[in-house]
Amino acid sequence: MIDEKDRIHRSHYAYQIDTSLVGKMVSIAGWVEEIRDIGKLVFLLIRDVSGIVQTVVTGKHLEALKDLTRHSIITISGTIQIGKAKDFDVEIKVDQIEIISRAIQPLPLDPANRIESSLDKRIDSRALDLRNPRICEIFRLKSSVTHVVRSVLQSERFIEVLTPKIIGSASEGGANLFSVNYFDTKAFLAQSPQLYKEQLILAMDRVFEIAPYFRAEKSHTVRHLSEFVSIDIEAAFLDSKDVMDLAEKVLLTVLDRLIVTLEEGGSVSLNKESIAELRKPSIERYSYKHCVDILNHEGEQIEYGDDFSDSSLRKLGQIYKGFYFITEWPLKLKPFYIHEKMGEPFLSESFDLQFGYLELISGGRRHHDSRKLRQRIIDQGLDPSRFEDHLRVFEWGMPPHSGWGLGLDRLMMVLTNAQNIREVVLYPRDTQRLHP
Ligand code: 4AD
Ligand code: MG
């Protein structure tokens, strides 16, 4: 028997209500998705985070429904009975009903999507937007993906760390830093954990961090945000190829787990066939030079040494549709910390992982020699005095090391087939948006 005074606890989630409970008393809590008034009785469809339940309200309980609006929060106790509706095997015959929190009318959007809203409008009311189960599912999935990534990295002896997000000087060079007032001085928001993660491997050997980073990018595209989450790793005594192998292992494990979830009927926002199609036995690796040759063959005009323009990447994405690595980039296109390729000083031991046109990962081997690192900072026109805290660490016995950064939000775009990164970020930040 349900305690009559207990207004906020439930005995069951919606997904647990099934024929095995016929004749039993249960209590559920959720929001009103639909009110079907057919005169002497009213069918209330109650949704919670796990699913939807049909309830039948009759007699004296109808009184409680007078001012009821869709999306109000409600608790219901009643007995489970076999239903007649084709969508529900069972329903709850209501015995006790309590409207806990009334939703205003009209709401800024309809999460059940009877009236379609633009992405902008949905993000304006994101908390409500998430009552659409297909949208909520994206973020449940994001949570599972980070869980899988963590477990793979931990099983490879990586230690999870958190490095500062408020920093005193640029972590990568470049101008895309946000500055903030920090007491009597100026500080910046971290654009990457790059320098800290390299320092940490001095003692910790292998580290990873999953955290937000900040880039003052003026570009307004479907794949850039001012705040994004990166999965960053760094490992001592591994080279570029080793960390590419690890990236491959992480990605293929994520895909394998998703395939299992889908086989178990797990997710509404994913298409099993499209995920299975992404899962190849391994990920192809093409050199930068190979990609330039292919693109020139296709009519793009690229000089050896040029970076790929958006249109070149799109063309490459049409040729190589799934995941692939681009390796051995010209050294001059890469940040100061990237190591040159042995025996080929104009090339680097670096890579990007692409999905079609979309860059998901950048990584490579780093310099561990402090003199060479200092020289590279100077060569790139940066002021080495701003990197003294970092450079001194390299005089304490720095092992050779490699690592990468994987954009989690971009990975989620690929996994959910989203065309805009804002679909897979709860509260996106870009040049136009700082609220909610
Ligand atoms: O390519 P990026 O800038 O590389 C680094 O930050 C290096 N420190 C990583 C390393 O270990 N060498 O960023 C890494 C990834 C990109 O490939 C992309 O997936 C994502 O982070 N990313 C962004 N995602 C959304 N919005 C932005 N503005 C992003 N900038 C980078
Ligand atoms: Mg990059």
Let me know whether 88 and 155 are in one domain: no
User: 337-389, pLDDT tens digit by residue?
Assistant: 999 999 999 999 999 999 999 999 999 999 999 999 999 999 999 999 999 99
DSSP state of 99: E
**CB-ligand 1 contact for 173 (6 Å cutoff):** no
What is the pLDDT of the chain when averaged over all its residues?
94
Angle between the N-to-C axes of helices 288-297 and 310-319, in degrees from 0 to 180, rounded to the nearest 10: 90
- Cβ neighbours of residue 232 closer than 8 Å, sequence gap 6 or more: 192, 193, 194, 197, 208, 209, 210, 211, 403, 404, 405, 406
When pLDDT is averaged across residues 108-121 and rounded to a whole number, the result is 90
Does 190 lie in the same domain as 61? Answer: no
Q: Tell whether the model's pLDDT for residue 1 goes beyond 50.
A: no
Pocket test for ligand 1, best of 362, 404, 409 (most atoms within 8 A of CB): 362
Atom of ligand 1 nearest to the CA of 362: 1
Residue 218 shares a structural domain with residue 366: yes
* Prediction pTM value: 0.95
| Band (268; pLDDT cuts 50, 70, 90) | low
Say what the pLDDT of residue 5 is.
Answer: 63
CA of 190 to the centre of ligand 1 (A): 12
Q: How far is the CA of 359 from the centre of ligand 2 (A)?
A: 7
**With 90 as the cut, is the pLDDT of residue 411 above it?**
yes
Task: Give the end of a domain, one of 53, 84, 101.
Answer: 101
> Helices (H), strands (E): how many in the chain?
11, 18
Q: Is 123 part of any domain?
A: no
Task: Give dist(CA 398, CA 391) in Å, integer.
Answer: 10
The response to whether residue 194 sits with its C-beta less than 6 Å from ligand 1 reads yes
Same domain, 93 and 162: no
Residues 33 and 171 grouped into a single domain: no
Q: With 70 as the cut, is the pLDDT of residue 100 above it?
A: yes
Q: Has residue 18 been placed in a domain?
A: yes
If asked whether residues 20 and 133 sit together in one domain, one would say: no
The last residue of one of the domains, among 51, 86, 101, is: 101
Query: For residue 415, how far is the Cα from the chain centroid?
Result: 10
Q: Which domain CATH number covers 173?
A: 3.30.930.10
Tens digits of per-residue pLDDT, 180-205? 999 999 999 999 999 999 999 999 99
- Which atom of ligand 1 is least distant from the CA of 421? 25
User: Does residue 291 sit in the same domain as residue 223?
Assistant: yes
- The pLDDT, as a whole number, for residue 324 is 97
Give the residue ranges of DSSP H helices in 279-341.
288-297, 310-319
Looking at the domain assignment, is residue 434 inside a domain? no
Query: Is the shortest distance between the CB of 410 and ligand 1 below 6 Å?
Result: yes
Q: Quote the ligand 1 centre to 141 CA distance (angstroms).
A: 21
State how far the alpha carbon of 364 is from the alpha carbons of 183, 217, 245, in Å.
Answer: 36, 23, 12
**What φ, ψ does residue 209 adopt, rounded to 5°?**
-140, 135
* Closest-approaching ligand to the CA atom of 358: 1
How confident is the model at residue 261, as a pLDDT?
Answer: 85
160, β-bridge pairs: 208
- Are both 163 and 69 inside the same structural domain? no
Q: Are 193 and 211 in contact (CB under 8 A)?
A: yes
- Residue 90 in any domain: the answer is yes
- Tell whether 135 is covered by a domain: yes
Please tell me the distance from the alpha carbon of residue 188 to that of residue 168, in angstroms, as a whole number.
6
- DSSP 8-state secondary structure symbol assigned to residue 18: S
CATH number for the domain harbouring residue 16: 2.40.50.140
pLDDT at 311 over 80: yes
Q: How far is CA 50 from CA 45, 110, 133, 260, 426, in A?
A: 13, 19, 9, 19, 19
Q: What percent of the chain has pLDDT over 90?
A: 88
Tokens 């990586």 found at = 158
Q: Are residues 357 and 217 located together in one domain of the fold?
A: yes
Task: Please classify residue 353 by burial: count the beta carbons closer than 10 Å to its beta carbon, then call 0-12 exposed, 13-18 middle and 19+ buried.
Answer: buried
**Separation of 78 CA from ligand 2 center, angstroms?**
56
Range of the domain at 416: 129-424
Q: Which ligand has an atom closest to residue 333 CA? A: 2
pLDDT class for 266, splitting at 50, 70, 90?
Answer: low
Q: Is residue 362 part of a domain?
A: yes
Mean pLDDT of all residues in 59-80: 95
96 CB-near residues (< 8 Å, 6+ apart):
2, 4, 27, 61, 76, 77, 78
Cis peptide bond N-terminal to 436, omega within 30: yes
Phi/psi for 199 (5° steps) reads -60, -40
Q: Which atom of ligand 1 is nearest to the CA of 217?
A: 28
Which atom of ligand 1 approaches the CA of 404 most closely?
11
CB 331 within 8 A of CB 346: yes
Range 300-309 contact pairs with CB under 8 angstroms and sequence separation of 24 or more: 304/330, 305/330, 305/332, 305/333, 307/333
Q: How many percent of the chain have pLDDT more than 70?
A: 96
In a domain, 436, yes or no: no
210 Cβ contact list (under 8 Å, min separation 6): 146, 149, 150, 160, 229, 230, 231, 232, 408
Give 408 Cα–ligand 1 centroid separation in angstroms.
9
Assess whether 147 and 239 both reside in one domain. yes
Torsion angle, alpha carbons of 323, 324, 330, 336, to 10: 50
pLDDT tens digit sequence for 214-238: 999 888 899 999 999 999 999 999 9
In a domain, 370, yes or no: yes
Classify 173 in phi/psi space as left (phi over 0), alpha (psi -120 to 50) or beta: left
Q: Residue 29 above 60 pLDDT? A: yes
Same domain, 301 and 362: yes
3-state secondary structure of 16: helix
Whether 288 and 168 map to the same domain: the answer is yes
How many domains does the chain divide into?
A: 2
Q: Where are the beta strands (DSSP E) in 196-288?
A: 206-214, 227-236, 284-287
